[in-house]
Amino acid sequence: MMMNRIVGIVILCIFFIPLPSHGKQDALDGKTQRAYYVQTLIRIADPVLDALSKNELKKRMPLEAKYPDTRRDFMHLEAFGRLLAGMAPWLELGADETEEGKLRKKYIDLSVTGIHNATDPESPDFMNFTEGKQPLVDAAFLAQALLRAPDQLWGNLTEKTKENVLEALRSTRGITPGYNNWLLFSAIIEAALQQFDGSGDLMRIDYGVRQMLAWYKGDGAYGDGPEFHWDYYNSFVIQPMLIEILQVLKDHDLDPANNYDLVLKRASRYAAVQERLISPEGTYPLLGRSIPYRFGAFQLLSKVAHLNALPVKVKPQQVRYALYTVIKKQIEAPGTFDEKGWLRIGFYGHQPELAENYICTGSLYLCSQAFLVLGLPPSDAFWTGANIDWTAKAVYEGKSAPIDKALRNNGR
């Protein structure tokens, strides 16, 4: 008991030390920045995972929404599925004897317990997978998390919990997706079923993929349905899920047209655009709907970096430095968390007026998707190289930057 307490104190000392303010951020190296990424991710995660691991999420979780009664039945799966999808690549590194590895062990255990409680029909925290339309969305994020951490999440579940998870995912088939990015929610759930027990509905997968490819608008961007939208849904949902669905098809020899390479090339271009959207101060345009997802807007940039698929002219260290600055600027805004550590609606602090009708406390945990780069081990060049200014920072300091070029021929 005493040894566990000592280990806990050491971990806290390493990961919760005060870090320099924005004025000194240029001095931070990759190791210190990684520690900040980890510190921030677990700060976001702790209220959700601690409560769910004790079957107390429904009892403890606050609800903030424009119309609370319309979101009450959905917020728990929203928070858990979205949070876990962002944490999964970090958890997939597994436990080891480093202090970070010991910390991962703690959160792997919490997450596995959370999956059990969320999908056990006898559990007080059994989540809603069937009532209304929203469960399709967040079951998809749970499926995404399992695909991203097949060893540490799926692999550590008991056989009974695996059966419960598969049944929960299959139960969403009664929900008809909208004719937009929602097609990918159905498709990624079926991709997970295909991956884990071979029961995926290939027609639902094929329809979602084909339709999204048909909605490609050029230069790395897809429409959210037939029309193009100026928002961050290419990053929130569309391109990361498209990549991951096609990865499953590729692994099962079900991608004869090699669409995986095509969508990854387009994603690489979109990631280059995202890197250029980050201002020298670490801000970015307040554009489109779902703005309270905060830096989850940069999921695709983080995803492409995690896959080591950045364009040649975008260096991993400039993405690390840029994402660090964005995350730090938003997460430290006063009012971002309530007094018990739960996220509050806003873009920079607490701004509930920015919420659409479908936004609630649970929705906000999509911000965790910016942390996919933590799936790169500490020894990766992403973390070990010196800081490199991202494009806008370099240009506004009078330094040179590469000319931007569109992706031609639809990326083929």
pLDDT confidence bin for 108, thresholds 50/70/90: very high
Q: With H, G, I as helix, E, B as strand and everything else as coil, classify residue 73.
A: coil
CATH architecture of 29-411: Alpha/alpha barrel (1.50)
What number is the average pLDDT over the span 57-61? 98
Residue 274 has pLDDT above 60, yes or no: yes
Q: How many Cβ atoms are within 10 Å of 339's Cβ, its own excluded? A: 5
CA 113 → CA 81, 106, 110, 116, 277, distances in Å? 14, 11, 5, 5, 38
Determine the Cα–Cα distance for residues 18 and 75; give it in Å rounded to an integer: 32
pLDDT recorded at residue 120: 98
pLDDT recorded at residue 10: 42
* Mean pLDDT value across the chain: 94
pLDDT confidence bin for 225, thresholds 50/70/90: very high
Q: What is the pTM for the complete model shown?
A: 0.93
pLDDT recorded at residue 284: 98
pLDDT recorded at residue 1: 41
What number is the average pLDDT over the span 374-391? 97
pLDDT recorded at residue 132: 98
Estimate the crossing angle of helix 134-148 against helix 239-251, to 10 degrees: 50
pLDDT confidence bin for 410, thresholds 50/70/90: confident
What number is the average pLDDT over the span 250-271? 97
As a dihedral over the C-alpha atoms of residue 200, residue 206, residue 208, residue 212, rounded to 10 degrees, the angle is 150
- Show the tokens assigned to 258: 């090699």
Which amino acid is present at 296? G
Distance in angstroms between the alpha carbons of the first and the last residue of the chain:
59
Estimate the crossing angle of helix 299-306 against helix 239-251, to 10 degrees: 30
pLDDT confidence bin for 411, thresholds 50/70/90: confident
What number is the average pLDDT over the span 195-224? 98
Question: pLDDT, tens digit, for every residue of 342-368?
Answer: 999 999 999 999 999 999 999 999 999
Residue 201, classified by CB atoms within 10 Å of its CB into exposed (0-12), middle (13-18) or buried (19+), is middle
pLDDT recorded at residue 115: 99
pLDDT recorded at residue 412: 82
Residue 4 has pLDDT above 50, yes or no: no
Determine the Cα–Cα distance for residues 250 and 79; give it in Å rounded to an integer: 30
Q: How many Cβ atoms are within 10 Å of 317's Cβ, its own excluded? A: 19
pLDDT recorded at residue 19: 43
Q: How many Cβ atoms are within 10 Å of 181's Cβ, its own excluded? A: 24
pLDDT confidence bin for 21, thresholds 50/70/90: very low
Percent of the chain at pLDDT exceeding 70:
93
pLDDT confidence bin for 60, thresholds 50/70/90: very high
Determine the Cα–Cα distance for residues 146 and 367; give it in Å rounded to an integer: 18
pLDDT confidence bin for 8, thresholds 50/70/90: very low
Cβ–Cβ under 8 Å, residues 179 and 222: no
Residue 14 has pLDDT above 70, yes or no: no
